[in-house]
Amino acid sequence: MISADHVSVEVEGLRRQFKTKSAPVVALDGVSLKVGEGEIFGVLGPNGAGKTTMIRILSTLLMPSGGSAKVMGFDVEHEAEKVRRVINMASGAEKAGYDFISAKRNLWFFSQLYGIPGEVAEKRIGDLSERLGLTKYLDRKFYALSTGYRQRATIARAFVNDPRVVFLDEPTIGLDVMTARSIREFLQTEAKTHGRTIMLATHNMAEVEAICDRVAIIDKGKIIAEGTPEDLKRSLGAPALVMEVSPPPKDLEMLRQVAGVKGFTSSADEERGLSTVQVVVENDSAANGASAAMATAGYRVVASWRKEATLEEVFVALVGSGFKEREEEGGP
Ligand SMILES: Nc1ncnc2c1ncn2[C@@H]1O[C@H](COP(=O)(O)OP(=O)(O)OP(=O)(O)O)[C@@H](O)[C@H]1O
Ligand SMILES: [Mg+2]
């Protein structure tokens, strides 16, 4: 539990609706959560879930329609000025700099908007750039940077005012694996060594598993689960049983008869004279049943183990469909 003294973001019954030509859209439908100082908190959800709306409200760019939100104890609606002094935000999807000045001048410009003394700003920009691998590119005009370096510059900008809380909307969208990883490492260091709170909205499960201390899964404006990535995975148990079976079975029809078996796949390893059979099970007794059925059919189970759920499986179990299907449906 987060102790009351160290709460950095506190959201209570937050609502936001948008007027549209047809019916009003409820983007946030009573969201409550607490984030502790120094935590990396993930807001995970499919397209249209309400992630950006929440980030925009918390960073004072959008007013709530109901409920309340505090950042470092300041109310986002009534004390917006105070909130702005202790936060920063960046969105991976938006272009966040002036094209015709260099990356360095961009960072300098933003540092001066915050009124940071020249020497301090110089040193901070140098340090952030170094840690984000941006130093070599600082003199390049913003438009001439590749997506990855522009994103690094955008991330640097989000830390230039030494914020206590940083809101990031899809910070690694469109980046290659290595660039995304180095940005994630940077964020972890910022949270752990400077005690900054980082709240990031994403639909990237791998990102959440890699760096988030806690995560809220949000769908249609509501939080449907919250906890550490480990908690969430444990809540689903181990939905797969993996068996190495010898000799490679000709078919796996015997598994179809076992109650609680939802599906299976197998791949044969001729050299080792065995097959690896992966069975999706509803519960432990289905797993036991599957391995017994193998033995009854005359196959030896050389080794077997259970596989923990992935965050994606948790999501599918909670929402009833994967991200892919949602995207194909065209949103919520
Ligand atoms: N300015 C607006 N006017 C009308 N509807 C809006 C507006 N902004 C957001 N919405 C609607 O609110 C809902 C939540 O949108 P939001 O952008 O917060 O989702 P998101 O979780 O960030 O999605 P994505 O993963 O696609 O970025 C959606 O149904 C969206 O269409
Ligand atoms: Mg969004």
Please give the number of the atom of ligand 1 that sits closest to the Cα of 170: 27
pLDDT for 75-91, tens place per residue? 999 999 999 999 999 99
* Local confidence band at 40 (pLDDT 50, 70, 90 cut-offs): very high
Comparing 2-6, 114-118, 172-176, 293-297, the range with the smallest average pLDDT is 2-6
> Given this model, what pLDDT does residue 330 score?
46
Q: Which residues of 229-239 are buried (b: 16+ CB within 10 A; e: fewer)?
A: beebbeebebb
Please give the number of the atom of ligand 1 that sits closest to the Cα of 53: 18
Judged against a pLDDT cut of 50, whether residue 198 lies above it is answered with yes
> Is 110 a member of any domain?
yes
> Is 317 a member of any domain?
no
Residues 6+ apart with CB under 8 A from 280: 239, 240, 261, 262, 263, 264
Q: Where residue 161 sits, what CATH number does that domain have?
A: 3.40.50.300
The verdict on the CB of residue 27 being under 6 Å from ligand 1 is: yes
By alpha-carbon position, which residue is closest to atom 16 of ligand 1?
50
Provide mean pLDDT across the span 108-137: 94
pLDDT for 251-298, tens place per residue? 999 999 999 888 888 899 989 999 999 898 888 899 999 999 999 999
Instruction: Say if residue 37 is in the same domain as residue 180.
Output: yes
The verdict on the CB of residue 47 being under 6 Å from ligand 1 is: yes
Looking from the CA of 265 toward its CB, the CA atoms found within 13 Å total 2
Computed over every residue of the chain, the mean pLDDT equals 90
Instruction: Say if residue 224 is in the same domain as residue 289.
Output: no
Judged against a pLDDT cut of 50, whether residue 148 lies above it is answered with yes
Ligand 2 center to residue 169 CA distance, Å? Answer: 7
Asked if 23 and 195 count as a contact pair (C-beta separation under 8 A), the reply is no
> Which ligand is closest in space to the CA of residue 169?
2
| Choice from 16, 19, 51, 204 to test ligand 1 binding pocket (greatest atom count within 8 A of CB) | 51
Instruction: Say if residue 106 is in the same domain as residue 250.
Output: no
Sign of CA dihedral 235, 278, 262, 207: positive
Ligand 1 center to residue 239 CA distance, Å? Answer: 33
User: Could you count the other beta carbons within 10 Å of the beta carbon of residue 223?
Assistant: 21
* Angular region, 298: left φ>0, alpha ψ -120 to 50, beta rest: left
Provide mean pLDDT across the span 170-191: 92
Judged against a pLDDT cut of 60, whether residue 319 lies above it is answered with yes
Asked if 87 and 59 count as a contact pair (C-beta separation under 8 A), the reply is yes
* Local confidence band at 302 (pLDDT 50, 70, 90 cut-offs): very high
The verdict on the CB of residue 26 being under 6 Å from ligand 1 is: no
Percent of the chain with pLDDT over 90: 73
Ligand 2 center to residue 89 CA distance, Å? Answer: 13
> Given this model, what pLDDT does residue 115 score?
92
Asked if 90 and 168 count as a contact pair (C-beta separation under 8 A), the reply is yes
Q: Where residue 296 sits, what CATH number does that domain have?
A: 3.30.70.100
Given 186, 214, 234, the domain boundary residue is 234
Please give the number of the atom of ligand 1 that sits closest to the Cα of 49: 21
By alpha-carbon position, which residue is closest to atom 13 of ligand 1?
27
Instruction: Say if residue 227 is in the same domain as residue 264.
Output: no
By alpha-carbon position, which residue is closest to atom 25 of ligand 1?
47
* Local confidence band at 4 (pLDDT 50, 70, 90 cut-offs): low
Count structural domains, the chain.
2
Provide mean pLDDT across the span 325-332: 46
Domain range for 303 is 238-307
Q: Which token pair is 328?
A: 């194909």
Provide mean pLDDT across the span 69-77: 98
The verdict on the CB of residue 92 being under 6 Å from ligand 1 is: no
Q: How far is CA 99 from CA 63, 179, 246, in A?
A: 30, 21, 63
Judged against a pLDDT cut of 80, whether residue 96 lies above it is answered with no
Asked if 176 and 148 count as a contact pair (C-beta separation under 8 A), the reply is yes
> Given this model, what pLDDT does residue 106 score?
93
* Local confidence band at 237 (pLDDT 50, 70, 90 cut-offs): confident
> Given this model, what pLDDT does residue 262 score?
83
> Given this model, what pLDDT does residue 116 score?
94
CA dihedral 147, 152, 155, 157 (to 10 degrees): -100
